[in-house]
Amino acid sequence: MRHLVGIIGAGNVGATCAQRILERGLGDVALVDIAEGLAAGKALDLSEAAPLEGHEGRITGATTYDLIQGSRVVVVTAGLPRKPGMSRSDLLETNAKILQSIIPHVVSRAPGSIIIVVTNPLDAMTYLAFRLSGFPKERVIGMAGVLDSARLRTFVAERLHVSVKEVQALVLGGHGDSMVSLARYTTVSGVPITELLPPSEVEKLVQRTRNGGAEVVKLLKTGSAFYAPASSVADMVQAILKDEHRLLPACALLLGQYGLKDLFCGVPIRLGAEGVEEIVELSLTQEEKATLTASARGVRAEMDAVDSLLHATA
């Protein structure tokens, strides 16, 4: 039996994610968007590409959530991007309302699914999806670490003139300016980049990774990144549907790991068919612990804001 992946939001990230899933042969896709004709049009276009790409995946698109009935994984990309002049709290409140309209449909139509959240602010929206769904913690995950780590891998490979295939990287903490890039765990064929580059060069790569999304936005001027985010989601979907038990950085609920409790934050997880199988706790230096704790404080503030919104609408 073929797996079904539901994708909520047919914008650039959602549609490209659908494309990646279909072309990897991971399963069928149900694409949902409230904009009349958007999901249906992109689904038709992607269907017509199937004979040329050589896959058998089916995709349907509509405004109705009935399409996602029985989905094994549901990816939530719907939400507004942060616009000029919009504060982070404004973005949180706006996208929280969108998720509040989405998650009940996911629960009623795909109660056994694993939810992957892409909507920003990522950590807070993953927490909100967890609260609204009532799903076990293993089945609500945020996509951020895979993307941030891929960006760091790209920049390291570019700087050292090596294949990206030889570079592994790990980014923890909140998604955004407070992300924590672990240089000691960023390697080229097993060699830490701290052995290959001076500290100043490593810091430049780390800072560029923190600003990775903003760099794309500045260049595009009227949009934000979607190719790399879509590929990051596809990697997570693949790990689940193929039960790969992959070690990936992602936003998950911590219950004491890294000294953080009842907090959604980016950490290394083992990802398989049941969702988060394990949170892998790495040995951190005092400086790394302090940076992660500082990042977690920002996430905690956003989670508190989510709680206030839920209380106000209760």
Instruction: Indicate which residues carry an active-site annotation.
Output: 175
The type of residue at 180 is V
Q: What count of residues does the chain have?
A: 314
- Long-range pairs for 297-301 at CB < 8 Å and ≥24 separation? 298/174, 298/176, 298/178, 299/123, 299/124, 299/173, 299/174, 299/178, 299/263, 299/264, 299/265, 300/263
Distance separating alpha carbons of residues 185 and 4, to the nearest angstrom: 35
Distance separating alpha carbons of residues 95 and 200, to the nearest angstrom: 37
Say if residues 146 and 248 touch (Cβ distance below 8 Å).
yes
167: three-class secondary structure by DSSP: strand
The type of residue at 219 is L
- Tokens describing residue 188: 């080229």
The DSSP call for residue 24 is T
How many C-beta atoms lie closer than 10 Å to residue 311's C-beta?
A: 8
CA atoms within 13 A on the CB side of 131: 21
Place of tokens 């490593």: 202
Place of tokens 């891998």: 153
Residues in Cβ contact with 300 at an 8 Å cutoff, skipping those fewer than 6 apart: 263
